[in-house]
Chain A
Amino acid sequence: MTPAIEIREVHKRFGSLHALRGVDLTVEQGEFFALLGPNGAGKTTLINILAGLSRATQGCSRVMGYDVVADYRDARRALGVVPQELVYDAFFTVREMLRFQSGYFGQRKNDVWIDELLHNLGLTDKADIYTRLLSGGMKRRVLVAQALVHKPPVIVLDEPTAGVDVELRQNLWEFIRRLNRDGHTIVLTTHYLEEAETLCSRIAMLKEGQVIALDTTHNLLSAHAAVQVRLKLNPNRLPDVLRPLLAAEKAGCFNLVLNDYSGLEVVLATLREASVVVDVLEVSKPDLEEVFLRIMGQAGKEAAR
């Protein structure tokens, strides 16, 4: 099957800034894919190249097999992009904007789908209001509707939930999930890592224009996440053997960091031998945020070497 997105050796230079340094990435059809990275890592630049808003200095990209430069018309038809910036056209109402956007993609008389989009995004009662009068969250929904108006098989959302309240975020993800179930490929960037963790099956992490991690969410979590253990001991003294694992000592508790769950056994055995009683034991589940910070940190150290 043709991959939904194929990025090969893409470089982008803005003057002396080397924003993308040879990015290789393939997203298969039907995937729910996250593109993570700190500000300035190159996520938006990469999306802009896919969308034809920017041109790669080197390398090529395809959307549903169509080259974004040579077959730009087919490539753009296959792609729906929700831009990060909250842009709108002050002259027009929500419905007018959606009709125009539909027309630009060559689809006239698209009102049935437009109504459905408005309904699903909770915009029905805003259809005839000027977009400039809507709140930030509502404007964001309009952008999502605009990106979906031509029913693209591949949907890219660049920080769609930035500045959006909890309820809308839930609604939005529910809707995007449904699109994914219906076969749409979803790529998103977000700074809310718990969103990426719960939604996405695969994750790429970008730093300084390079992919530094690319794996399934599950593998990333199990390979990189440290297990955190909080202990309250009686007597309140940590055996010296365990000192190297100590990350912090707070409010009479010891926070240890273990590489995996099997380390827990060793800790408990050591405590038993030292005749220390465990009053409180809390094990926290590894989350993507820690994995993210760890990977970013490692990449930083490697770069410094």
Chain B
Amino acid sequence: MTGLWTLFYKELLRFWKVGLQTILSPLVTTLLYLLIFSHVLESHVQVYPGVGYTAFLVPGLVMMSMLQNAFANSSSSLIQSKMSGNVVFLLLPPLAYWEFFAAYVAAAIVRGLVVGVGVGLAGLWFTPVTLAHPLWMMAFALAGCAMLGAMGIITALWASGYDQMAAVQNFIIMPLTFLSGVFYSIHSLPPFWQALSHYNPFFYLIDGFRYGFFGVSDVSPELGLLIVGTCFLALSLATLALLKSGYKLRN
């Protein structure tokens, strides 16, 4: 287990050392969203009865920043190692493929949570936030970060360069997060788009996470967690299979 812990610690230290870029800058970006959207929409939109738009928006932005940062952590770390060639430092030692997986996902979770907590705390400045079901909130936060951490590994394994990495980030991850109900409840959408949203796993993450705050959700949290958990399991098995086969790492 020493190998796993060392890799986990190394991954933590890596993003911590460049904290301006990995923690502070996503924090500032998210707060700008919060500032602008709450300013424009607070007096016009009420998604749930009795919940102000800013209060509705905060959990959505927290989840969004967690997802994006969890993804960014594992994917950018691994692609950098691959491109610079220093991934051999991880391939020469007797690290098992599951240790490799666990360390990257765990570090992605920590990075996601650190940014998420930061956004959440800053959100308190704008609006009081209630916590109806903290355990549900935690469960969805962990599931979301873990899922995106695994997606980050898959992407970095597959990508042959930074261009392909950025493509996945901008054409898959960003649309899925933006269209998952961060800024709105899917009930406000036309039926077609509402139905389509149910095929977006990120929707269940944000919906369930919000349930932790307000006790209100579009889908029951049990069903949400089941769907999210299944997605995470499937992604994990896929990642483990890729790592075990040495896909694009051990040719």
Which of A53, A108, A150 is the one whose CB lies under 8 Å from B250? A53
**Alpha-carbon distance between A195 and B93 when the two chains are bound, in angstroms:** 28
**Alpha-carbon distance between A111 and B9 when the two chains are bound, in angstroms:** 17
Interface 0/1 of A78-104, CB less than 8 Å to B: 010101010111111000110111111
Which of A54, A81, A96, A104 is the one whose CB lies under 8 Å from B95? A104
Minimum distance in angstroms from A70 CB to a CB of chain B: 13
Number of A residues whose C-beta is below 8 Å from B? 36
In the complex the two chains form, is A104's CB within 8 Å of B14's CB?
A: no
Please tell me if B89 contacts chain A, counting CB pairs below 8 Å.
Answer: yes
Which of A81, A83, A85, A91 is the one whose CB lies under 8 Å from B14? A91
Please tell me if A252 contacts chain B, counting CB pairs below 8 Å.
Answer: no
In the complex the two chains form, is A83's CB within 8 Å of B88's CB?
A: yes
Chain B residue nearest to A107 in the complex (CB): B2
Please tell me if B18 contacts chain A, counting CB pairs below 8 Å.
Answer: yes
Which of A73, A87, A90, A103 is the one whose CB lies under 8 Å from B6? A103
Interface 0/1 of B127-139, CB less than 8 Å to A: 0000000000000
Chain B residue nearest to A132 in the complex (CB): B84
Chain B residue nearest to A99 in the complex (CB): B6
**Alpha-carbon distance between A85 and B81 when the two chains are bound, in angstroms:** 13
CB interface residues, B 64-79, toward A, < 8 Å:
none
Please tell me if A30 contacts chain B, counting CB pairs below 8 Å.
Answer: no
Chain A residue nearest to B14 in the complex (CB): A91
Please tell me if A62 contacts chain B, counting CB pairs below 8 Å.
Answer: no
**Alpha-carbon distance between A108 and B90 when the two chains are bound, in angstroms:** 16
**Alpha-carbon distance between A147 and B88 when the two chains are bound, in angstroms:** 11
In the complex the two chains form, is B3's CB within 8 Å of A105's CB?
A: yes
In the complex the two chains form, is B86's CB within 8 Å of A104's CB?
A: no
In the complex the two chains form, is A91's CB within 8 Å of B18's CB?
A: yes
Please tell me if A136 contacts chain B, counting CB pairs below 8 Å.
Answer: no
**Alpha-carbon distance between A88 and B87 when the two chains are bound, in angstroms:** 9
Please tell me if A140 contacts chain B, counting CB pairs below 8 Å.
Answer: no
Minimum distance in angstroms from A245 CB to a CB of chain B: 49
Q: List 14 A-B contacts (CB under 8 A).
A: A52-B91, A53-B92, A54-B251, A55-B251, A76-B93, A87-B88, A87-B89, A89-B86, A89-B89, A100-B7, A102-B6, A103-B6, A107-B2, A146-B89
Q: 16 more A-B contacts (CB under 8 A) besides A55-B246, A101-B89?
A: A53-B88, A53-B91, A53-B250, A72-B94, A76-B93, A85-B88, A89-B86, A99-B6, A103-B9, A104-B89, A104-B94, A105-B94, A106-B2, A106-B94, A146-B89, A150-B93
